[in-house]
Amino acid sequence: MLFHVAMEVRLPPDMPAAKADDLKARERDLAQALQRQGKWPHLWRVAGRYANISVFDVADADELHALLSSLPLFPYMDIRVTALARHPSAI
């Protein structure tokens, strides 16, 4: 099942740089692992913002929630999810 996921990260301005750097490194590692597994086939930066637009390919909404909530930056994200269905004009 495909999901369009818009994520915006809002780290606290007073978060120590070392903690932010650690979170970002762990986030990158997990995101790349999920991409290699085919669970996160599209990841696009939103220009000018600390945000991304992604497509996840997972079994269902429960799996998507488990993946998203496992992201190290999850506590600092505003996430919007839209389930996708094949368009009848798609080739």
pLDDT for 42-54, tens place per residue? 999 999 999 999 9
Rounded to whole angstroms, how far apart are CA atoms 59 and 51?
A: 24
pLDDT for 17-27, tens place per residue? 999 999 999 99
Rounded to whole angstroms, how far apart are CA atoms 61 and 90?
A: 23
| Top CATH class, 2-83 | alpha beta
Per-domain residue ranges of the chain: 2-83
Rounded to two decimals, the pTM is 0.92
